[in-house]
Amino acid sequence: MKKEKIPQPTIERLPIYYRCILQMKAEGIRTVSSEELGRRIGVNSAQIRKDLTYFGEFGRRGIGYEIESLIEDIMRILGVTQERRMLIVGVGNLGTALLRHRGFSKEQFHIVAAFDSDPEKIGQEIEEISVYDLRLLDTIIKEKDIEVAVVTVPAKDAQRVVNQLVGCDIKGILNFAPTQVTVPENIKLRNVDLGVELLRLSYHLTNS
């Protein structure tokens, strides 16, 4: 792997390439050209070739990329080889849906604890995952060696919960609360705001 700095847009696209080639592997396909990958993803093939050279992958003319070795390389770059433990704060509609979903284990993320401040929810089990009192956050994070938190609390509580997580040395946060939260630079934050996605869709519907 080259040591030069990888551009952020390349990093953003890499998981999408990974998704696609995993699916192709499942279809029994062994090699893929940048054109075919581009057609499936909706990215132009020159961009794909350029992105993959950052990781030292070069397709062979007339053959393309070997899917098996491409998967191994991307897994290593993305860190998917390592199991990660995750918690959820906020056992409402979305939090419960994510607990029941169980679909993150193929990305090596495992939900091992849930938290809420509602006494009626604390002590429950959802899909064999215990719902703890939010006051136990620090204890459970250390006990269970948790790296990542998924935040599904109402907007008004989000920054307070995020501050609490930062205080417990969480390393990464996936925020679903429909509000912007801020974290110190050493914490990795990804926002998934469904309302923002709808507004972006709205822009395109209005201006097309």
Where along the sequence are the contacts to a second copy (CB under 8 A)?
11-12, 14-16, 18-20, 23, 39-42, 77-80, 82, 84, 93-94, 96-98, 100-101, 103-104, 106-109, 147-148, 155, 171-172, 174, 178-180, 182, 186, 188, 190, 192-208
Report, in Å, the least distance between residue 61 CB and a second copy. Answer: 25
Least distance between a second copy and beta carbon 33 (Å): 16
- Residue 126 token pair: 């959802």
Spatial CB neighbours of 20, under 8 Å, sequence gap ≥ 6: 37, 40, 41
Min dist. Cβ of residue 16 to a second copy (A): 6
Q: How far is the CB of 48 from a second copy (least distance, A)?
A: 13
Nearer to a second copy, 94 or 112 (CB): 94
Encoded tokens for 52: 């993959």
**For residues 96 and 164, which CB has a smaller minimum distance to a second copy in the complex?**
96
With respect to a second copy, which residue has the nearer C-beta, 133 or 191? 191
**CB-CB neighbours of 167 under 10 Å:** 10
- Judged by beta carbon, residue 63 or residue 196, the one nearer a second copy is 196
Give the strand pairing for 129-133 and 125-126. Answer: antiparallel
Pick 15 or 167: Cβ nearer a second copy = 15
**Count of CB atoms situated within 10 Å of the CB of 143:** 11
Backbone phi and psi for residue 173, each to the nearest 5 degrees, phi listed first: -130, 130
Of the candidates 143, 135, 142, the one whose C-alpha atom is nearest the C-alpha of residue 160 is: 135
Distance between CA atoms of residues 135 and 137, nearest Å: 6
CB of 20 to a second copy, least distance (A): 6
